[in-house]
Amino acid sequence: MSIGGPSSDPTIAAAIANHKDSILFVASAGNRGPSTGSIEYPAWDPNVVAVTAIDDSEIVMNFSSRGIDDGNDSVITIGEIEFAAAWSLVESTFPTYFTEVDGYEYHLGTSMAASQVAGLAAKLWQGDPDSTRLFLRTTVTDIVDGKRAGAGYDVASGYGLPHVTAAAPPPPPPPAELDSLHVRDIDGDGKKSRRGKWQANVTVMLHDFDEHKVRRAEVEATWTTSKGTSTAKCRIKRGGTCKFRSPSFGKGVSNVTFSVTDISHNSLTYSVGDNHDPDEDSDGTTLVIDKP
């Protein structure tokens, strides 16, 4: 992102917060240096890689915004710079309606530095944003010249200049196995009887690695309340779902926790790490139902 400003934007902030676990955001630190804390938004967001500008002699430019230093060099927090990269005469895409050329021009600033780090991150992608950021730190050349730059982490250049190393990066985590299945969705509610007891009902949906519904699988689960735990099993039917009904619970029980404990299938393997229920704030295997 070659954008920046003095204050946060709610739309951008929401996008970053919602996708920080799947997208690596990279932004220009800003061109308002060299004062400490002159970094702009969204680069100051700790979920965004903030990039400053260095010249061909690896000196941090005076105009390049600086961050702050919270004293912990192992973790990036709000307002801290992460990397530095070249800023001058970088060829970049450009809207053709602004110029007669074919959509490319040479430009300057931390925006150009950020684009290089974003491209490098894509080349050295490690399977997720956090792993990629950590790996980039292992590739850096320390930047020690320029106002407020020095050995090690500093507010001017962060960890330094990341680059493609001679050694090949470790391979990213393998994709989900082609013979795997996972929990795709869990929904449930509770109903109270006239005698004061109540039961919970839960529907579990299974998908395979290609998000197709799975049939003929057996789901094992538990019902847990303050009174104890009971086990249950259910076989997935044609629609890719099976339904569980809890035991009846009386007074003194305010809620019940439903948890998938295992899944068996004659040809597919249960992939615990690939569970994802989009409607629940969980790992896709657990649902808490409150008494009506």
The CATH number for 10-137, chosen from 3.30.420.480, 1.10.3720.10, 3.40.50.200, 3.40.50.300, is 3.40.50.200
Q: Does the structure show a pLDDT above 70 at 176?
A: no
* pLDDT tens for each residue of 220-274: 999 999 888 999 999 998 788 999 999 888 778 889 999 999 999 988 888 887 7
Q: Where are the alpha helices (DSSP H) in the chain?
A: 10-19, 110-123, 129-137
Cβ atoms of 130 and 172 within 8 Å: the answer is no
Give the length of the chain: 292
Residues 216 and 241: beta-carbon distance below 8 Å: no
Mean pLDDT of all residues in the chain? 88
Q: What is the pLDDT of residue 102?
A: 76
Q: What is the DSSP string of 265-285?
A: ESS-EE-GGG---TTSSSSSS
pLDDT tens digit sequence for 48-80: 999 999 998 999 999 999 999 999 988 999 999
Please state the rounded mean pLDDT for residues 71-94: 89
Asked if 48 and 80 count as a contact pair (C-beta separation under 8 A), the reply is: no
Share of the chain above pLDDT 70, in %: 91
| Other CB atoms within 10 A of residue 151 CB | 8
The residues spanned by each domain of the chain are 10-137, 180-290
pLDDT tens-place string over residues 279-289:
555 557 888 99
- Tell whether domain 180-290 is in CATH 2.60.40: yes
- The whole-model pTM stands at 0.58
Cα(6)–Cα(30) distance, rounded to whole angstroms? 10
Better pLDDT: 252 or 172: 252
Q: What is the pLDDT of residue 92?
A: 80
Tell me phi and psi for residue 140, to 5 degrees: -80, 150
If one counts every other C-beta atom within 10 angstroms of the C-beta of residue 237, the result is: 13
Place of tokens 């086990």: 231
Confidence of residue 195 (pLDDT cuts 50, 70, 90): confident
* pLDDT above 80: residue 156: yes
Distance, in Å, from the CA atom of 120 to the CA atom of 188, rounded to the nearest integer, reads: 45
Q: What would the mean pLDDT of 156-171 be, rounded to a whole number?
A: 79
* Distance, CA of 83 to CA of 65 (rounded, Å): 12
Read off the pLDDT band of 107 (50, 70, 90): confident
Instruction: Give pLDDT, residue 147.
Output: 95
In this structure, is the dihedral angle defined by the CA atoms of residues 204, 209, 213 and 215, taken in order, positive or negative? negative
**Cα distance between the two ends of the chain:** 47
- Residue 203's nearest CA partner among 247, 240, 230, 238 is 240
Per-residue pLDDT, 97: 73
Spatial CA neighbour of 180 closest among 243, 263, 238, 236: 263
φ/ψ region of 284 (left if φ > 0, alpha if ψ in -120 to 50, else beta) reads left
pLDDT of residue 170: 59
109 has pLDDT over 60: yes
pLDDT over 80 (residue 171): no
CB contact at 8 A, 192 and 198: yes
Contact between 106 and 91 (Cβ < 8 Å): yes
Contact 36, 68 (CB under 8 A): yes
Instruction: Please tell me the predicted confidence (pLDDT) of residue 99.
Output: 65
